Amino acid sequence: MMSRLCCQRLLWGWLFVLFTLAFGATAETASDERVVPAAAYIKDTGRALTFSEIQALPDNAWRYLGTEAISFGYDTTPYWLRIEIPAGTGDRLLQIEYPLIDDLQLYYVTADREPIYYQMGDKLPFLERPVLANSFVTAIPYDHAHVAYLRVETSSSVRVPLYIWPANSFHAAQGPLNVAVGLYFGVLICMVVYNLFGFVVTREPSFFSYSVYVIFTGLLMSALSGVGFRYLWPEFIWLQDRAIVLFGGFAFVFATLFITQLLNLRKNGPNWHKGLVILGAVAGFIGLASMLLPYSFTIRMLLAFAVIACSYVMVLGVAMWLRGMMYAQIFMLAWFTFLASIIFTSLGYLGIIDGQFIQRYAIMIGSGIEVLLLSWVVTLMYSEERTQKLEAQDDALKHALEAQAAQRELNEALEARVAERTAELEKVTTSLQRANTELERKSHEDGLTRLFNRRYFDERLLQEFHQAVQQKRPLSVIMVDIDNFKPLNDTYGHLIGDDVLVAFAERLQQTASRVNDFVCRYGGEEFVVVLPVTDANAADQVAERLRSAIRSEPFTSDAGKLTVTASFGVATHTAATPMANAQALLKAADSALYNAKSKGRDQVFRVLASSE
């Protein structure tokens, strides 16, 4: 039983490690791609300035911020921002990365044209946003340099982190972030299901109170991150306006109940128990007050209460530790992590420290660690109680063993029980292995074409390149792009386009049929074929075979048979013509693909080394 519990805890721990790594990857991607525009601001103390009046103000009326972080703490006064949008090409997006703003009015202004106006904020239904994202995002309408005016009014912390993104980079950057957030909530759901199952099996009340606490914690995190408004209550404005305080208050109500049961405070610390009951009552009052009082008032109550309550629980944990409770150390570490995240978050919301990442994700990371550690404490507590019961049973059995017949019966019962538990453990282990295998497969699979996805390609290419360098073997990469795919999509629609992508992928997979070759979907209508131990001439032949296979037979779709061609870029790493790294090899293949496209499409273009 204990080994099974340890395996499951280890699994949750690894999931959380993956979660934090995904956040790191997201932050790195974002810092490379997005641009912070320069801005200036005016505080509309009288709440009377109109857009026309703002436009007419002279430059010296504005307070220039440049690219500094825009944060004014808790202030219900409206602010006007003048944002300098630099010139750029292609589709671009303006992102306001803080999801808890009540009202945003955005005007894009350029000479000789009427301003383009957007109204956003979480006082409006989620589906009315110009771009459906957890934060506030709009398309930038002009390529030339121009000015945008933004009016901000909110009862929350006035934080306006502004970023300009290339549209494709923005959407690509959301992938790792969504995976990380999804993994976080997946861990919470697993914790809830696991502990509810523990409650059903053992009838231990701490399992149930812990599960409800995790549910409210998850709802609180979904409100803070914008996930809740996007997926759970996109039309429920009343709940969106109160969710943080409401769920935060009730989360601590059930936290006090759980702590009381976990540490058996009615017996081990009656005075501590009274203090915890008072804190639970205050938390419940704050949660109920959020339904009646303004958010700007109740959020301050909640933040101040959270720091005090978590500090009290920390001291309580130290006291129980000094009394010799074996799991009090882990309990204290869990609440210390959560307290630290709350303190950082509170300071960020109050504008005392800066850091959008801290404000949005510190409490999420802290709560994730706390949830895992507290679940471990519950397991230890149950294990200790079970061990005590088994020891008592052993003492009783030693006396019963004086009778030979009773001893044989006891041994047979114990053997049967061990066999039953062993069978259960094998069954659970097998199920877990199957689930892990399926999860690993799906994480590496493109959802549409069933080919390997970009994530698998990036990992595998690094491995193959490293082996090719170590073993001095050639390695070739073929970049493939469907010719004129956008006109096909525009003419026949995205469903037909998807059918063509699936059929195209199948034909590539069937043609590149060697055991070590692998085909991946790189993105959109681009694919990559990696050919280990393949020199330039052989790779050229494979590319020609792929090209012929694509153009030789039209693709069948609901719109009839469609003739499709593709362009191929081939790059090869050899000991004689080495590439600097895997990215250089991929870049060379992409450059070759560009040449194939520019020379008329439906052809193969090859480069041997990065110098060509």
**3-class secondary structure, 563:** coil
Pairing of strands 116-120, 79-85: unpaired
In whole angstroms, what is the distance from residue 324 CA to residue 218 CA?
Answer: 32
Q: In the beta sheet, which residues pair with residue 566? A: 482
As a 3-state breakdown, the chain gives helix, strand, coil percent values, each rounded to 5, of 60, 15, 25
Does residue 126 contact residue 222 with C-beta atoms inside 8 Å? no
Does residue 156 contact residue 299 with C-beta atoms inside 8 Å?
A: yes
566-573/604-607 β-pairing: parallel
Residue with tokens 């009340």, as numbered in its chain? 205
3 state SS of 121? coil
Residue 159: closest CA among 344, 361, 305, 360? 360
Which residue in the block uniquely carries the two structure tokens 């990857």? 25
- Identify the three-state secondary structure at position 375: helix
Query: Closest by alpha carbon to 485, among 469, 474, 509, 501?
Result: 501
DSSP 462-511: HHHHHHHHHHT--EEEEEEEETTHHHHHHHH-HHHHHHHHHHHHHHHHHH
DSSP 8-state symbol, 5: H
Annotated catalytic residue within 525, 526, 553, 612: 525
Pair 107, 149: CB distance under 8 Å:
yes
| Calpha distance 390→367 (Å, rounded) | 34
Q: In angstroms, how far apart are the furthest CA atoms of the chain?
A: 104
Q: Is the dihedral of CA 462, 464, 470, 473 positive or negative?
A: negative
The contacts of residue 289 (CB under 8 Å, 6+ apart) are 245, 298, 301
With beta carbons less than 8 A apart as the criterion, state whether 79 and 158 touch: yes
- Amino acid residing at 113: R
Q: Which residue is it, tokens 């499709």?
A: 564
Q: Is 33 a catalytic residue?
A: no
Residue 432 C-alpha from the chain's centroid? 23
DSSP codes joined into one string, 514-554: SSS-EEEEEETTEEEEEEET--HHHHHHHHHHHHHHHHHSP
Strands 475-482 and 103-109: unpaired
> Whole-angstrom Cα distance, residue 108 to residue 504?
42
Please list, residue by residue across 201-218, b when 16 or more beta carbons sit within 10 angstroms of its beta carbon and e when fewer do: eeebebbbbbbbbbbbbb
Structure tokens at 478: 């073929």
Element spanning 261, H or E: helix 237-263
Q: Report the alpha-carbon distance of residue 279 to residue 196 in Å, rounded.
A: 25
Residues known to be catalytic: 525
